[in-house]
Structure 1
Amino acid sequence: MGCHPALEQWEDAATSDHGQVLTWWRRQPHAVLLPTGRAFDVLEVPAHLGLRVLGAARLHAGVVGPGRGQVRGPVAVTPTGRWMLLVRPGDPLRPELDESLDVVRHGAGSWIPAPPTRLPEGPVRWAASPEETRWRLPDSYAVQGMLVDALGAVRLPRQTSTLRRAA
């Protein structure tokens, strides 16, 4: 059930050959799965973290200027509310994120469903398309830093901020 590779040895069979993909598609439409760990990795997070990171990345781009300190990249969203932030490959998770159940890193040997893949719950869509981000991938550690900040903001007890205001 759900989205998974149609072939057992999917890494060996994966192709960008247009003719082969058309042949497979004629037999039966499939989900579009992108292998991670080669051209990009993915940081998968729940919607509340994805929204915070995307908002911070847009703000950062406006302050720093286009092309400098690039932290904004393509973002795909599943119908169940998981956000998939595409980043440059190779970096492991920062220690602050390694034990977080909210953050999953997809690297070598993994894959993600790409828009317009239709899952049982609905279609996968782009929150920030590759075209919108000019096909640039942000630095993984820069995005992870934004996730650490977002997790800290989410976990900050409300009473602490109230006490600070009262003091």
Structure 2
Amino acid sequence: MQWTANRPFVPLDRRRLRRHALRYATHGWAVTPGARLTGHRFDCGRPGCPIMMCHPAMEYWEDDATTDTGRVRHWWRNRPYSVLLVTGKRFDALEAPAALGLRVLGSARLHRAGIGPVAVTAAGRWMFLVRPGAPLRTELEHRLDVVRHGCGSWIPAPPSRMLEGAVRWAVDPDRTQWSLPDPEIVQNLLVDSLGAVSEPRLTVPRQMSTSRRAA
């Protein structure tokens, strides 16, 4: 059965989301439940929550995020929560637009550069997982369409669904044996690809870091 934004989740979706959440937790990636997509907005279950886009379902999500498989099973036992990965501990995520992400991936394959897992949203946002801690290079920091997710932020993980469609892996963690590259490697590839991608004007990322969401 094909799923659409107007069609409610069925039990298979909940079980699939739980299975993937457990997969991430088992490999040491902290997860937290995300609001579930209902119609054209995300519902976290908190009364009066005004946020309509994807967001954590728990108020203190950063403190409650875990790799404990028992807690993960409990969270997804009855509700089809989105799966969110907490950044800044085991990994950071470098988010870029599709035009830039495709060039980076192609360049990495051409030059056999080490690259880690890469998640892609249906809206065209590419998220490169790297070792944590390194700030963005100045060539990237000023761009509105490039975001570093570090401490205090999160990213949606496959197979969660956004308004535009499901999040997927362009490079599955199994392909890299769950290893993460040095952030300098991916940032260098991003910078090298900038010449072929025009500077954004009013583009705002679909999924922004906590610092930029609060700005």
TM-score by length of 2: 0.66
- Within 5 Å, give how 1:1-167 maps onto structure 2: 1-61=52-112, 71-155=114-198
For the pair shown, which has the larger CA radius of gyration, 1 or 2?
A: 1
**Matched residue SS, 2:111:** helix
Deviations 1:6-32 (A, max 9, x none): 111011111122222122112311111
Shift, 1:153, TM fit: 2.6
The 1:28–1:155 alpha-carbon spacing in structure 2 relative to 1, beyond 3 Å, is: closer
Q: State the superposition RMSD in angstroms.
A: 1.4
Gap runs ≥5 in structure 1: 62-69, 157-167
> What residue is the counterpart of 1:67 in the other structure?
none
* Whole-angstrom distance in 2 between the partners of 1:73 and 1:5: 25
* Whole-angstrom distance in 1 between the partners of 2:72 and 2:177: 25
Higher relative contact order (CA 8 A, sep 6+): 1
* Whole-angstrom distance in 2 between the partners of 1:3 and 1:24: 17
Q: State the aligned residue count.
A: 148
Percent of aligned pairs with the same amino acid:
66
- Bigger fraction of residues in helix: 1
Q: Which runs of 4+ in 1 moved over 2 A?
A: 153-156
